[in-house]
Amino acid sequence: MKLREVKPEIRVLGVDDGHYGPEDDRTLVVGVVMRGGKWIDGVMCTEVTVDGLDATDRIAEMINRSKHKPQLRVVLTDGVTFAGFNILDIQRLHEETGLPVVAVIKHEPDLSSIISALENLDRTEERRKMVLRAGPVYEATTKPGEPPVYFQCAGISPRVAELVLKRTATRHRLPEPIRVAHFIATGITKGESSSGA
């Protein structure tokens, strides 16, 4: 993808997970299709296992079976951890869907702490490799005067990914497709959503 392809109404998919409690073994994941950061074109969903290893498979299946896929140009995810420490392999998601993937992080991540936390889970080395495969963490200022967001990317250059983030961060420093996915996922799983993403 080139810079000139990042049009104001670029079709993007924002993905985030819902709330889960100690008694839950699965939680909802919602994908929201938007044109830029302004218009919603569709919603899709799946479920993933809490602290499992199925996030990549389930999200890839959700995207590949969707009627919206032919219009999609980029997938934006809320980081690389879903339902606790169910790690999303963004490189494999890119390979399996053919779409660029940008994992967006609200605060600068502490990768060493994340990797240390994986020691408490099964298949630690497999999870660690997925975290590392996400690649370098980049920084982008999407709203002047506001704190930056951070991101990792697969199948797209950091420069183009940054422009996608700026195009879709219409109401907040986080991309609107991720914020809307968050509202829907938490609204369904908690009964209501909070005001922030």
pLDDT for position 82: 96
* Cα 35 to Cα 158: distance, rounded to the nearest angstrom: 21
Mapping DSSP to helix (H, G, I), strand (E, B) and coil, where does residue 123 land?
coil
pLDDT for position 130: 93
Domain locations in the chain? 10-190
Radius of gyration of the chain (CA): 15
pLDDT for position 96: 98
Mapping DSSP to helix (H, G, I), strand (E, B) and coil, where does residue 41 land?
strand
Share of the chain above pLDDT 90, in %: 84
* Window from 51-55, 69-73, 95-99, 116-120 with minimum mean pLDDT: 116-120
What does the CA dihedral 140, 38, 181, 47 come to, rounded to 10 degrees? -110
Q: Are strands 101-105 and 149-154 parallel, antiparallel or unpaired?
A: antiparallel
Residue 102 CB neighbours (<10 A): 28
* Cα 28 to Cα 106: distance, rounded to the nearest angstrom: 20
Question: Quick one: pLDDT band at residue 62, thresholds 50, 70, 90?
Answer: very high
Residue 169, CA atoms < 13 Å, CB-side half-sphere: 21
Segment 98-124, tens digit of pLDDT? 999 999 999 998 888 888 889 989 999
pLDDT for position 4: 84
* Cα 92 to Cα 94: distance, rounded to the nearest angstrom: 5
Residue 45, CA atoms < 13 Å, CB-side half-sphere: 17
Rounded alpha-carbon distances, angstroms, from residue 147 to 46, 80, 113, 173: 31, 20, 22, 8
pLDDT (mean) for 8-22 = 94
Rounded alpha-carbon distances, angstroms, from residue 80 to 63, 90, 111, 166: 16, 7, 11, 20
Segment 138-183, tens digit of pLDDT? 999 999 999 999 999 999 999 999 999 999 999 999 999 999 999 9
pLDDT for position 190: 83
CATH for 10-190?
3.30.2170.10
Mapping DSSP to helix (H, G, I), strand (E, B) and coil, where does residue 188 land?
helix
* Cα 139 to Cα 67: distance, rounded to the nearest angstrom: 33
**Residue 175 near residue 76 (C-beta atoms within 8 A):** yes
* Mean confidence (pLDDT) of the chain: 94
